[in-house]
Structure 1
Amino acid sequence: MNFERVIIIRDKTRLEQLIERFNSKAQAKFYIERSEGNFGYYEIEHDTFYQSLNKIQKTISKRLKYKVIDRSFLPTYIFTEQDLVLAIGQDGLVANTAKYVNGLPIIGVNPDSERYDGVLLKHTPDDLSTVIKNVLKGEYATKQVTMAKAVLNDGQTLLAFNDFYIGADSHVSSRYDIEFKGKKERQSSSGVIVSTGAGSTGWLSSIFNMKNNIIGHSTVSERENRAQMDWGDNKLVFVVREPFLSKVTQTNIGFGIITKKQTLKIESNMPTKGVIFSDGIESDFLNFNSGSHVEIGIADEKANLII
């Protein structure tokens, strides 16, 4: 690829979010300290982020043009094949970015290694110069990550890097008809989770942990063998959370493997407040109320993380 500029994706720091909430830094500080919180922690985190961002901008400017955009603009920003995407923040920012860049290579940069685990953030501001140099020479490798795709009967679509949640947007029961491998039944549950390989160590693993605790076999080896998948595997796992057996609802379809040839279909029976959340981001969702049908399968798009 012939990259002409770098698109830097960032999110607001927690201090910036507090200032937005309380209208000023002074008011935010007063609220946090009155609640016996450590406001200095937010300030240090904020300063560290901007030190990293400034270093990144200086490094990039020596070789390419760049543009910084906020995470909130991802759904509407138009990326081109000449864009090299760089996400600076926490792991969730990389996951969210991957859904909107149409397979463009992504450099994940950890701005604060002391605070963030950085599973998806393979680089630091200090090694970015070498990374950019290698990318421009075409001497780089990417790790492909399989994503999930939800398609509604009205044509709306949504991608997931880690997982989908299909169900009610609150703690009331989720009601729907589920169809898998030619079998169909009506269910009432706490919703359905569909996980990719990248997400298998997150929400999906917690469901297996709960199951293992119930049956008394909460061993590390069993959890890993059942819950984890390689990021590039062309398969997804779905699990029904807490299905309820009644005169009109069944519990026979509770777990399955989604492949290129085998999708999962769900029809909503929720008059209101039915949703499909992507990657746990409440602003990244589709309404899923009565009359809506969704088909969950493997996305043709792959996320490409520069390693």
Structure 2
Amino acid sequence: MLRRRAVVVHRRTELDELLDRHGTRGQAEFFLRSRGRTLDDVQDRHDGLAAARDAVAAALPADWARADVERADLPRFLVAPEDVVVVVGQDGLVANVAKYLHGQPVVGVDPEPGVNAGVLVRHSVTAATALLRGLDGPVPDGAAAPDRAAMLPLDALTTVRADLDDGQHLTALNEVFVGHPSHQSARYTLRCAAGTERQSSSGLIVATGTGATGWWASLAHDRGGRAAPRRDEDRLGWFVREAWPSPATGARLTEGTVEAGDDVEVTVASDGLVVFGDGMEDDRLVARWGQRVTVRRGEEPLRLVRP
């Protein structure tokens, strides 16, 4: 059996970003005071997040390898099949990690209870450290060491996948966006189970049940409420944002579902549209005039460890 490795994923804190931007603590403090804030509050959050990461690291089994990865480095980091991914941060950070995984278990750790919704970061720091220490339990004399990481209780959360007709693709946990890079009018032909229509809109959102608490929730609220898929359901939901009816474009097909085995397709009729998942606009695909973008259920779910 290959040696296990824990991949601990985190984001830079606000203090990190302030020091990068302003150079010194004094300049950062002056900037915060001018906006009615204090450096102490920012420092406290920074220290709390650092303490959470330290606690998680200290609880890892002694014979495991460890890698620390910052969110911005995820596109350049290779997660191995035997890795266990530990995300310390917000729910959205788990979603950011999902597109780079292929079945590896994920432990979501909430370093700020009451601040995060806790939909994906389901474990408190205390609960996470207890779980991780349990992966390094005693072995009876003469017995083979069990692979406790392989026995973690998991929920399989549905993902969504977008494929370009040139072979490029991406996967997301919450939703995929197809539209103009500046969110202006995007022109395309939409094909779905209900038919085909030329459209001009501010983009298409295709969401999973997990994403139904995010962008989907806002769109559904504005349209009087729509039933969302469950997080483990194969079905996806989609909305067209601000479809514009004109002599050449329609606004009839603006929402629907993508059932198991089905898809929704966009044929680009603009200079270029972008495709990205879970709000990570920097890690995106570009679809040129005439290209097709097909969105369907992802092939692999996110395997999230239950509390």
Name 1:218's counterpart in structure 2. none
Query: Structure 1, residues 215-238: CA drift from partner, whole Å, max 9, x if none?
Result: xxxxxxxx3xx3322111001111
Structure-1 separation of matches of 2:132 and 2:159: 26
Query: Structure 1, residues 105-138: CA drift from partner, whole Å, max 9, x if none?
Result: 0011111214222211111221223312445535
The 3-state SS of whatever aligns with 1:186 is: strand
1:292 is matched by which residue type in structure 2?
A: Q
Structure-2 separation of matches of 1:144 and 1:293: 29
Alignment of 1:1-307 (within 5 A): 4-60=4-60, 62=62, 64-135=64-135, 136-137=147-148, 138-181=150-193, 183-212=195-224, 223=225, 226-272=226-272, 274-307=273-306
Provide the TM-score with structure 1 as the length reference.
Answer: 0.89
Query: Structure 1, residues 184-218: CA drift from partner, whole Å, max 9, x if none?
Result: 22101121111101001221121121112xxxxxx
Name 2:141's counterpart in structure 1. none
Structure-2 separation of matches of 1:277 and 1:266: 14
Structure-1 separation of matches of 2:241 and 2:73: 33
The question of whether the paired residues in 1 share the 8 Å contact of 2:88 and 2:108 is answered with yes
Name 1:220's counterpart in structure 2. none
Structure-1 separation of matches of 2:240 and 2:23: 42
Provide the TM-score with structure 2 as the length reference.
Answer: 0.89
C-alpha RMSD of the superposition:
1.9
Unaligned ranges ≥5, structure 1: 213-222
Structure-1 separation of matches of 2:194 and 2:90: 40
Counterparts in 2 of 1:107 and 1:252: CA distance versus 1, 3 Å? same
2:219 is matched by which residue type in structure 1?
A: I
Q: What percentage of aligned pairs have identical amino acids?
A: 30
The question of whether the paired residues in 2 share the 8 Å contact of 1:89 and 1:109 is answered with yes
Q: How big is the shift at 1:304?
A: 0.2
The question of whether the paired residues in 1 share the 8 Å contact of 2:61 and 2:133 is answered with no
2:92 is matched by which residue type in structure 1?
A: G
Q: How big is the shift at 1:2?
A: 6.6
Unaligned ranges ≥5, structure 2: 136-146
The 3-state SS of whatever aligns with 2:298 is: strand
The question of whether the paired residues in 1 share the 8 Å contact of 2:81 and 2:102 is answered with no
Structure-1 separation of matches of 2:117 and 2:197: 41
Structure-2 separation of matches of 1:32 and 1:270: 43
The question of whether the paired residues in 1 share the 8 Å contact of 2:236 and 2:259 is answered with yes
Counterparts in 2 of 1:125 and 1:3: CA distance versus 1, 3 Å? farther
Structure-2 separation of matches of 1:171 and 1:2: 46
Structure-1 separation of matches of 2:6 and 2:183: 42
Name 1:219's counterpart in structure 2. none
The 3-state SS of whatever aligns with 2:176 is: strand
The 3-state SS of whatever aligns with 2:9 is: strand
Counterparts in 2 of 1:98 and 1:3: CA distance versus 1, 3 Å? farther
